[in-house]
Chain A
Amino acid sequence: MTAQPMAFVGARLVDPESGYDGPGSLLISNGRIAEFTRGDEQGGLSDDIRQIRCEGALLCPGLVDLRVKTGEPGAEPKETLKSAARAAAAGGVTSIVVQPDTDPVIDDPAVVDFILRRARDIELVHVYPAGAATKGLEGEAMAELGLMREAGCVYVTNADRPVSDSRVMRRVLSYAQGLGILVAHRPADPWLTQCAGATESEFSGRLGLASAPVAAETIMLERDLALVELTGARFLVDQISAAAPLESLARAKARGLPILATASINHLSFNELDIGDYRTFCKLNPPLRGEDDRLALIEALARGLVDIVVSAHAPAQPEEKRLPFDEAAPGAIGLETLLPALLTLHHESRVPLGRLIHAVTMAPAQAIGLAAGRLTPGAPADLVLCDIEAPRLIDAAALISKSKNSPFDGRRLQGAVLMTLVDGRIVHEARP
């Protein structure tokens, strides 16, 4: 299966490890990056090397997406591992971490093994499972964190069901700390967020929507940060979404706690007004916030307070979305729009390109201990070649995901994936 060596010449290379952003060429062989050459000059290439002229297109590490939901096992009509992997490849995402809230829940090494075997058969992108922090995600008894880690879990999380019992959370963190396992947690106070699909605001009040205040996020985050301080566990804040919790995060980072934070591309791209006339594709969890919160999130990403951007890919079928807002399922698909949406943020001059690339490649790869996410010789040849200028009108119906619930439907983004490689194999190539 190992493809012939390839040379990408005349590319704009962005390497988050060295911080290099400039012209160069890259040689890959045996599924790994063999040579990284800065500048325009290219040495003579032997004939058995396939040469790809990039003509200034961006070549960077493939994206690592730490938060992807599929419907497999249990809800395959929404999304299978295969359809998610195809969507990922088309979006330049070369590694995905699937969430444990499947049916059955990934709270057992056997289910971890099932996911890994399926992914191996699909042979597209790397698929890593995240394990449940508690059995059945019930928030009561600790799941087999150690056995799941041995089976191949990259972190543990309670997905969209925050652990309300502080004692259980403390023990999960404490136990995980001993084994060096990364724990992710969604900061949301389950009582304040009960039934809420919108942020508490003048806007949602007028629409009459069930809503929760931003304080629901701040309260839970402060609790988690205090428990991290108590236990010393490595901690990943799962989707921070507003200005107030960012302040909590900044204080905790300043104290040197071992924490990382993610933000979803949706919260960087939309605000609550996008709900408009009860648009259920914009019903998300956490809910979309105000514009001030969105700008604060972008600023936090630019200065590195927010470490990682995720797609928060969450497929939903029409029958779950074609309902009154309060009854509709939350979530949006995002694997195929993650990169163009990030590039759109860059074009709006909000965040330097290198910083954005870092947040979807090296930062998430390091968080879960992958060698990917960099253009260093010896690293896996997980790459994406991308025309960062190409305009693109998103048509949800044309996306590869089995579910079409994209809030970007009808939006104009800038940036198109030309080619995606995983371990040196081309897994996606745009038709010219």
Chain B
Amino acid sequence: MTATAPGADEVRKRAFAFPRRHFLSVTDLDPVQVGELLDLAEGFVALNRQTTKKADLLKGRTLINLFFEASTRTQSSFELAGKRLGADVINMSPRASSIAKGETLVDTAVTLNAMQPDILVIRHGSSGAASLLAQKVSCSVINAGDGQHEHPSQALLDALSMRRAFGRLGGLTVAICGDVLHSRVARSNVALLTMLGAHVRVVGPPTLMPPDIARWGVEVHHHLKTGIAGADVVMMLRLQLERMQGALVPSMREYFRLWGLDREKLARAAGGVRVMHPGPMNRGVEIDSDVADDPQVSLIQDQVEMGVAMRMAILAAMAARLDNRGPL
């Protein structure tokens, strides 16, 4: 599956124009478009492993990272992706800006928009925040996580990691385990993986499951052991520790005992099972270090690497769309 060291020209040949002005949800794409975007990302994986990682697909473009929530992986990978593609990138974080002075989300975005950026990457703690901004600004908006709604670039990078590990996505059994209720990663992954023909299970206590989740086209399991039985991929979700206070789960040790992933429970999954986690991990809460750090099993470091390549592909596709529009 891995392309052999193509340069930036090789990537350019695969250029795929994003079908929409904004990227807010995985449902903005159809399965064919997802395939093309993943192919494009493969090219960037190869490019990123070279000494010279630069391509000038975003030359002259400005990218603003507007992150209202703390983020290590997503923000740095969008920043790196933008820089490797030749864009000017700035990072805005709430504490350093006038948001701390009471400026509203929309006002902040409209102000930044007046500086003529081409792409605004936003993360916000409220569901629908990216969609709200997309209605108010003229640049392209990429949703880097909105509340408990979606995190589409994460689902794409997860799909890329899985496709590289298994050579396919259709027919894989993927168990998404843990706090599905509060997880935008789970929502985007369920939507994308079911769209691509994978069998998706969600596993966790009922208090951490969204209402009527059975109608999302997934199998619902409340026991980890049965939930991951025969699974090709076990995707663990981060348990936010503040959930203990809300009477959602009783304690960390009970959670780990019943829903934490360790070697023994993992033995029930299919042979060649791969373990994923969107990070940051709570070792000893949802995942045992022994499993997380085993390179034979864990795709967690691959996910981080794929994160940069996938975001380069998304940005390149966005830029291709902007270029096709021609001079206004």
Contact = CB atoms under 8 A, between A and B. Distances in A.
Residue of B150, B187, B210, B215 contacting most chain A CB atoms (<10 Å): B210
A208 B211 CA distance: 11
B149 A208 contact: yes
A121 interface: no
A277 B216 contact: no
Given A323-B104, A324-B147, A205 B212 contact: yes
Contacts of B128: 207-209, 277-278, 324-326
Interface string A174-214: 00000000000000000000000000111011111101010
Interface residues of B, number: 23
A201 B211 contact: yes
Contact of B211 (A211, A277, A319, A322): A211
Given A325-B127, A326-B126, A326-B127, A205 B106 contact: no
B146 interface: yes
Contacts of A327: 126
Given A206-B187, A208-B146, A324 B211 contact: no
Given A277-B131, A324-B129, A205 B213 contact: yes
Given A205-B210, A278-B128, A327-B126, A322 B104 contact: yes
Contact of B148 (A200, A201, A208, A278): A208
A209 to B, nearest CB: 6
A149 to B, nearest CB: 41
Residue of A206, A322, A324 contacting most chain B CB atoms (<10 Å): A324
Contacts of B105: 323-324
A278 B150 contact: no
B132 interface: yes
A213 B215 CA distance: 17
A396 to B, nearest CB: 16
B184 interface: yes
B131 A278 contact: yes
A103 B210 CA distance: 38
B211 A205 contact: yes
B199 interface: no
Interface of B: 104-106, 124, 126-129, 131-132, 146-150, 184, 187, 210-213, 215-216
19 contacts: A200-B211, A202-B211, A204-B211, A205-B211, A205-B213, A206-B216, A207-B127, A207-B128, A211-B211, A278-B128, A278-B131, A322-B106, A323-B104, A323-B126, A324-B132, A324-B147, A325-B127, A325-B128, A326-B147
